[in-house]
Structure 1
Amino acid sequence: MEIIQLNIEGMTCASCVAHVEKGIKNRVGIDMASVNLATERATVSYDPQMIDVDEIIKSVIDAGYIASIPEKGSEDIEDRKKREQHKKLKVKSIISAALSAPLVLAMFAGIFKIEALMFLHNPTIQLILATPVQFWIGGRFYIAGWKSIKAGSPGMDVLVALGTSAAYFFSIFNGYFAERIGVETNGLYFEASAIIITLVLLGKYLESNAKGKTSEAIKKLMGLQPKVARVVRDGEVIEVPISDVVPGDIVNIRPGERIPVDGIITKGNTAIDESMITGESMPVEKSILDKVVSGTINSYGSIEFKAEHVGKESVLSRIIAIVEEAQGSKAPIQKLADKVASIFVPVVLVISLITFLIWWLIIGSLTSAMISAVAVLVIACPCALGLATPTAIMVGTGKGAQRGILIKNGEILQSAGKITAIVLDKTGTLTQGKPEIQSIYPIGTSYNRDQILELAASLEYNSEHPLAQAVVRAAENESIKLKNIESFKSIPGMGVEGILDGQTLLIGTQKLMDDNKIPSQSYKKKKEELELKGNTVVILSTKSEAIGLITIADSIKKESVEAVNLLKNLGLKVYMITGDNRRTADAIALKAGIENVLSEILPEGKASEVKKLQANGEIVAMVGDGVNDAPALAVADTGIAMGEGSDIAMESSDITLMRGDLREIAAAILLSQRTMGKIKQNLFWAFFYNSIGIPFAALGFLNPIIAGAAMAFSSVSVVTNSLSLKNFNMKSAKKDDVASITLKVNGMSCNKCKMNVENCVKSFEYVDNANVNLEKKEVVITFKNSEIKGIDTIKSAIKDAGYKPL
């Protein structure tokens, strides 16, 4: 199967979405089709052996809409096109309002008997004013409506065109023909047709304006990508388009410039502002061999780096791709709205016809019949239904991306809020992932400390396990020369085996020793004693006896304890999973505040443990960062990968935390819950609005003008409600009683100034965090223990650093 995205033009409501999806799905070879009204895009999964892209595009055209393939680098063109459409909509709304205003005055003149304005009741004057509104400005509804009827998929445009046409032509009949043929006249309704079109256009304009704001996050991310890069070629620095940068190029970066591609620094020292990628406000110090990421900002030093990941492989491009996929996706909750929308318009047409016939034939009022039928047609346009879910998903995923929380799609966004249990991998997730050797204990007298370290490091040299790397680093730091190992064999989850100078050596866990029948009496008591202190103990042995113990410790991350408390406060059951033995695991879990421990679990067993929890009725999230976590991440209801971890873990996960900060798990869950809350509010009001509005209109309690206004602004209210998610404060995922204050600080001009002020403020023990906004020239200070104090002292320190606090 292959996946393609298509731009779709001509959609106006939820019915349009349903008809485009149906048109695509009816073709042979289509696996999945998802159409998003807010982004005006379709995501299609298809079998290229059975159907090609041209046929898919034709299926959209046959449904009455226009489809095209987004061209590479076409974002600016599409943006410009949307801006032009937005401007035209604004101009037409103003003209329509100007032409409709005299008709509104005529209506008030009749109500309040204003003689000076009664001339506006002249049928010819009203016809002259209403006609351009009906057929020039409102022509879009006729064109789109006719196309949808031809395709057998009537939508909102049909309802607007029918409703306004009925009012317009009924007015012509009353103004010019009713009296001549002896039918009692009941006034003119040109103002109804004109004002309905004006209000619908105004609603579309406001909706377009609001929809533009929902995609701000993706626009900001795209804006991070520089257009050109300076590379060193043939000894000279030349400027090339970013698309011409290839892996291996040496890229030159000056202070204040954005990093164009991913790479490793080969020359220079600096600090990199990674806030737009990771959400971390503090610039990160970088030197030779450190990694740099595309889209981040070089603060103050000139550096050169070797390009590694370019184009679609760069971190920024992958982030943009994930966010685009998420914003174009649907949540399962949308299915109900889609089902309703697919039959909505035909049902409304029937209700409108029945309303007309009852009022005319049974009650005997042609005027009331016409007004009520028009009101039904206008009030029932299902625009709000189509926007309820996608706008909230766009804002929610965009808000997450700004914080470095990448959520792959709407289904994941919905499911994340339902998690009941969370399984945290230990190494690299709860802990720093950089274990260090604490001590070495010889067993017997055959080998001393240095010999044990030499043998252990030689054995572990070819292993990629974090514990193995800790042993090798320790040997390198002591300048110990390593020996060549023959017949190296890695035993996943247990250790390694190899031959040195004809002797077989083993290093690893107790299980490895037991499997090889190595006696444990000589070291068992010492090993247990060391493990109770939270150390991981690695055993080195020959084929016949143990010769040494190596203790390795990996400190927990400073935010782990707070993160665990946050997850517990959300009502989640928190588990730690590790390959460590029970004693070591319990000691680390105790430090982190975790009661549920899954220890001595081999890599392949992690997925099984997740399945056991699921079998007990838990909705499980797995959090990990390593290659051996990938199966468990894939099996879990929600897989969460730490962005500092492996690419495989990120590919297997549903949510990626770019900062590697465990506290962001709680933020992601809260964001999911808030987003789903907004979607449910949107859908409730969309359904409630139509279920109440249609009966009121049918019973004659709703004027067509009021119905038009209500219909137009229902869409605007849905989008506005979704936009309120932008105010979601990630801090709320940490504490509800956070105390903060904002200080104006003059004299800051660059990222180094930003870093200086933030470091200065954070140096006070009662300050929890400091975040500088260079544009606004201010620093937001968050205090510990919900207590604001020491402001004068902080101001004095900022002043001593060379800046001017106000």
Structure 2
Amino acid sequence: MRCDHCLLEFPEREAVRAEVAGAPKVFCCAGCRGVFELIQGEGLGAYYDSRRWTEVGPQAAAALDLAAFREAVREGHGAAELDVAIDGIRCASCVWLNEKLLQRTPGVLSARVNYATHRARIRFDPAAVGLERVLGRIQAAGYQPKPWSDAEQLRARRAEAKDLLVRLGTALFLASQLMIYQAALYAGYFQGIDASTRRLMEWISLGLALPVVFYSGAPFLRATWRGLRHLRFNMDSLVVIGSLAALAYSVHGMLRGGEVYFDTAAMIPTLVLVGRYVEAAAKGRASEAVARLASLAPREARRLERGPGGRAERRSVPVAEIRPGDRIEVIPGERIPLDGVVREGASEVDESLVTGESRPVAKGAGAAVIGGTVNQHGALVVEVTRVGKDTVLAGIVRAVEEAQAQKPRIQAVADRVVGGFVPAMLVLAALTVAAWLARGAPVERALMTGISVVVIACPCALGLATPIAVLVSTGLASARGLLVKGGDVVERAGRATDVLLDKTGTVTRGRPALRALVPLDPSVGADEALALAAAVERRSEHHVGRAVAEAARALPAGAEPEAAGFRAVPGRGVIAQVGGAEVLVGNRALLAERGVALAPEADARARALEAHGDTVAFLARGGRALALVAVADPIREEAPAAIAALRALGLRVAIVSGDGRVTTGAVAAALGVEAVAEASPVEKREAVAARQRAGRRVLFAGDGINDAPALTQAEVGAAMGRGADVTMESADAVLVRDDLRLLPDLVRLSRRTYAVIRQNVFWAFFYNAVAIPLAMAGLLHPIVAAGAMAASSLFVVGNSARLRRAL
């Protein structure tokens, strides 16, 4: 008897019988009966009509280690997200069943299962459904959830590549030996050869060919067997059918005294393996930047804890034990374990492998640091803000993996072609054999011609055309500090016609800086005035105060006097006592309130600066104005070059900002671009939509929460790497290096990638259009056909590898 759930054959005496939906069913065990009833009860009985299993038997449930799963849960925006590996997935219907069961679980917001990797990404509301319930639903269907491990997947990919290399090496060695004996046999056919010698060489050739076909070609055989059992054909089917046909014909010819073609049977899988191995190597190189990132985070951290008597103690603990809010110490030369904020110390940090920034970045109190970067000079005390899957490193790795899994529109066309191409080619090969036989050709000639059609038609190049190019381009982008979240983004960015830029934090630094300090009293120098202003502003939270205090850090130690009695006057400025005198920094209203006279020429100078978008404050002491301070958000040093590069690519550039007209207009004028000022988040989105209605394709770049609607509306949204979390989640690409010049790099790389994809697809179609008629005409021997097919795949891989020189 056969189990109605797991298809296992078992003796009748062990049957577990049940009536489900009015129909009698038999099962090998009570577990299978329970799973069957669950699936039917959920209304998912269609699963049994569409499943394609290559193995039978129930899956044994194992105990769940919930602690391991909890460590992998990422929380944010009112939902939790978890990646799990699902054991027991045997076909696409298993994927469908798991997705449906999870999606029908109250509290589960979404569930996606990747058939290739068996990874499930589940988003759920932890307030509505517990982790144990989510995992239990997977187990209830007869599958086993396990914590997802990037390291395990990396080891699996390396093991697969190693296995492929061993098979290829075996095939190349044996095939090279085989060709020696086949050359002797071919010479014997024309010049004569002793019968016993010929028979010996044929048996040796058969012995050399069999391991190549059945060991080296095992991956093709397994894939073909899985497909043929369910009347589905794939690219491997053509390789196997061509190889086995040549082998079978040669064995028949050997036994009947005819010619043998064992070299054809062996060289077909050998040449295809060459293409597969080069493809695997290209994938490995394309992912190496991401693999390096994944391995950057240290396994241990030095946590600061309160010991007896309140003393700070340092204890090395696994990174998994660190929680947000913990403080860790990082000494020079160490990698920073997790994302956080510097609370004590100053140093320079090498962020090159994460952001692509080649120069060390200065870090002091209040500066954000990224896990995996290297502390170079000074000791730092860092307060941890993100752990586990929430860190910048984990997000980059996750986003690149998703990008490589998503397909551009052109790939969907190629996939549909491949789906119908294989059976069509098998029919064409059969018709070719029949046509040659009908013309009176010898059986061997007709069969070899048919095999040539099968082998030459293998659409490997078409299947590789897009994935390889996307893998190379996303890997190259991530190494440069540009995170592209989808293969489809490559297509859309390359077709952009307009670029809209937010101003604050995108075109400008987003951190106001002291632009000018103009002494108004000849007895006070610029450094003295700056030191006096900084003493008063040191405790201010206003952006003018922060800019003055930052500029004063360049003064010699001890230059800044002590201030007392600090008082902030909202909307006007700050006041403090310095050396027994009242010192204030504020606007005209504060000067008037405190009885400080402002000379007309000083007021005129201030208004000239304000006309350029600067914020102006006045420094006064003892009732006399000493200096005026102009603060502005400086334009990024790289902004002019970035905008010039975008224009050189034929793109229209404009600024869309929520800031005032004067400030926005001054920045736009300095860069020579159009500007829209005082735009709300909704108006920013409408500015994008208006251009789209006019037939334009928009790339929008921003960094603030108010940019999220426009980023989502645009064909491509690019977020600055120092932007808000919601902004980076809304974006299609993230400039991790926080360098505006990455925008033209994105467009340039996308255009080049899409051009390579089009070249690859054209070559794949052109190759088949030319080669198939030649094979049908009998002008290509099967070995030549196999070599041409492998060469087409190598062309696609090599053409895609050229993208490494695109930036």
Task: Verify same fold: TM over 0.5.
Answer: yes
**1:7-406 equivalence runs, <5 A:** 24=96, 40-41=116-117, 70-71=148-149, 73-106=151-184, 109-110=187-188, 113=191, 119-120=197-198, 122-177=201-256, 185=258, 187-233=259-305, 234=307, 235-406=312-483
Aligned to 1:728: 806
- Residue 53 to residue 298, structure 1, CA distance change in 2 (3 Å): same
Deviation at 1:642, TM superposition (A): 0.9
* Deviation readout 1:44-102 (Å, 9 max, x if unpaired): 778999x99999999999xxxx9998446424532452354234324432443245233
Whole-Å Cα distance in 1 between the matches of residues 87 and 282 of structure 2?
19
* Deviation readout 1:213-266 (Å, 9 max, x if unpaired): 222121111122222222233443332222222223322223222111112223
- Residue 225 to residue 373, structure 1, CA distance change in 2 (3 Å): same
Specify the SS of the correspondent of 2:303: strand
Deviation at 1:473, TM superposition (A): 9.4
Aligned residues with identical type, % of pairs:
36
Aligned to 2:775: 697
Specify the SS of the correspondent of 1:308: strand
Contact 2:286 2:476 in 1 (8 A): no
Match of 1:585 among 661, 664, 672: 664
Aligned to 1:565: 644
For residue 677 of structure 2, what is the amino acid of its counterpart?
Answer: S
- Residue 89 to residue 209, structure 1, CA distance change in 2 (3 Å): farther
Whole-Å Cα distance in 1 between the matches of residues 452 and 203 of structure 2?
25
* Deviation readout 1:568-624 (Å, 9 max, x if unpaired): 111111111223443443222111221x11123234321121211222221111111
Determine if the alignment matches structure 1 residue 429 to structure 2 residue 501: no
Contact 1:156 1:383 in 2 (8 A): yes
- Residue 59 to residue 725, structure 1, CA distance change in 2 (3 Å): farther
Whole-Å Cα distance in 1 between the matches of residues 795 and 142 of structure 2?
29
**1:501-516 equivalence runs, <5 A:** none
Contact 1:419 1:621 in 2 (8 A): yes
Whole-Å Cα distance in 2 between the matches of residues 689 and 67 of structure 1?
44
**1:736-775 equivalence runs, <5 A:** none
Specify the SS of the correspondent of 1:211: helix
* Deviation readout 1:505-526 (Å, 9 max, x if unpaired): xx99xxxxxxxxxxxxxxx999
Whole-Å Cα distance in 1 between the matches of residues 192 and 337 of structure 2?
68
Whole-Å Cα distance in 1 between the matches of residues 99 and 322 of structure 2?
41
Whole-Å Cα distance in 2 between the matches of residues 343 and 419 of structure 1?
33
* Deviation readout 1:425-470 (Å, 9 max, x if unpaired): 11111112122577999xxxxxxxxxxx9xxx9xx96x9xx68977
Specify the SS of the correspondent of 1:224: coil
For residue 709 of structure 1, what is the amino acid of its counterpart?
Answer: G
Deviation at 1:283, TM superposition (A): 0.8
Whole-Å Cα distance in 1 between the matches of residues 379 and 122 of structure 2?
48
Contact 2:452 2:775 in 1 (8 A): yes
- Residue 72 to residue 203, structure 1, CA distance change in 2 (3 Å): closer
* Deviation readout 1:155-195 (Å, 9 max, x if unpaired): 23322222122112212222223x6xxxxx4x222221122
For residue 676 of structure 2, what is the amino acid of its counterpart?
Answer: L
- Residue 310 to residue 132, structure 1, CA distance change in 2 (3 Å): closer
Whole-Å Cα distance in 1 between the matches of residues 774 and 114 of structure 2?
32
- Residue 641 to residue 72, structure 1, CA distance change in 2 (3 Å): closer
Whole-Å Cα distance in 2 between the matches of residues 586 and 69 of structure 1?
53
Specify the SS of the correspondent of 2:511: coil
Deviation at 1:703, TM superposition (A): 0.6
Match of 2:788 among 679, 694, 710: 710
Determine if the alignment matches structure 1 residue 669 to structure 2 residue 669: no
Whole-Å Cα distance in 1 between the matches of residues 688 and 604 of structure 2?
33
Specify the SS of the correspondent of 2:465: helix
Whole-Å Cα distance in 2 between the matches of residues 3 and 378 of structure 1?
43
Deviation at 1:420, TM superposition (A): 0.8
Whole-Å Cα distance in 2 between the matches of residues 148 and 654 of structure 1?
36
Contact 1:171 1:188 in 2 (8 A): yes
Deviation at 1:127, TM superposition (A): 3.0
Determine if the alignment matches structure 1 residue 608 to structure 2 residue 686: yes
Specify the SS of the correspondent of 2:358: coil
Whole-Å Cα distance in 2 between the matches of residues 314 and 562 of structure 1?
32
Specify the SS of the correspondent of 2:267: helix
Contact 2:302 2:316 in 1 (8 A): yes
Whole-Å Cα distance in 2 between the matches of residues 140 and 610 of structure 1?
50
For residue 706 of structure 2, what is the amino acid of its counterpart?
Answer: N
Whole-Å Cα distance in 1 between the matches of residues 478 and 378 of structure 2?
28
Contact 2:699 2:714 in 1 (8 A): yes
For residue 280 of structure 2, what is the amino acid of its counterpart?
Answer: S
Whole-Å Cα distance in 2 between the matches of residues 56 and 366 of structure 1?
55
Contact 1:266 1:306 in 2 (8 A): yes
Which deviates the most, 276-285 or 200-209?
200-209
Specify the SS of the correspondent of 1:238: strand
Contact 2:174 2:209 in 1 (8 A): no
**1:525-540 equivalence runs, <5 A:** 531-535=610-614
Deviation at 1:673, TM superposition (A): 1.0
Deviation at 1:23, TM superposition (A): 7.7
Contact 1:225 1:260 in 2 (8 A): yes
Deviation at 1:484, TM superposition (A): 8.9
Aligned to 2:758: 680
* Deviation readout 1:521-551 (Å, 9 max, x if unpaired): xxx999985553333689xxxxxxxxxx997
Which deviates the most, 358-367 or 136-145?
136-145
Specify the SS of the correspondent of 2:696: coil
Whole-Å Cα distance in 2 between the matches of residues 528 and 267 of structure 1?
40
User: Which 5+ residue runs of structure 1 have no aligned equivalent?
Assistant: 12-18, 180-184, 442-452, 486-494, 497-506, 509-523, 539-548, 730-806
- Residue 662 to residue 119, structure 1, CA distance change in 2 (3 Å): same
For residue 753 of structure 2, what is the amino acid of its counterpart?
Answer: T
For residue 339 of structure 1, what is the amino acid of its counterpart?
Answer: R
Contact 2:86 2:119 in 1 (8 A): no
Deviation at 1:423, TM superposition (A): 1.0
Specify the SS of the correspondent of 1:631: helix
Whole-Å Cα distance in 2 between the matches of residues 213 and 8 of structure 1?
28
Deviation at 1:21, TM superposition (A): 9.5
Specify the SS of the correspondent of 1:617: coil
Specify the SS of the correspondent of 2:386: coil
* TM score, norm. by length of structure 2: 0.71
Specify the SS of the correspondent of 1:304: strand
Deviation at 1:371, TM superposition (A): 0.6
- Residue 383 to residue 575, structure 1, CA distance change in 2 (3 Å): same
Aligned to 2:36: none
**Aligned-pair RMSD on alpha carbons?**
4.5
Which deviates the most, 564-573 or 717-726?
717-726
For residue 158 of structure 1, what is the amino acid of its counterpart?
Answer: S
Contact 1:8 1:68 in 2 (8 A): yes
* Deviation readout 1:690-748 (Å, 9 max, x if unpaired): 2222222122111101111222232233222222222233xxxxxxxxxxxxxxxxxxx
Aligned to 1:646: 724
* Deviation readout 1:95-136 (Å, 9 max, x if unpaired): 432452334423553487497999356543433333333334
Whole-Å Cα distance in 1 between the matches of residues 276 and 659 of structure 2?
60
Deviation at 1:678, TM superposition (A): 1.6
Whole-Å Cα distance in 2 between the matches of residues 246 and 336 of structure 1?
47
For residue 285 of structure 2, what is the amino acid of its counterpart?
Answer: K
Specify the SS of the correspondent of 2:466: helix
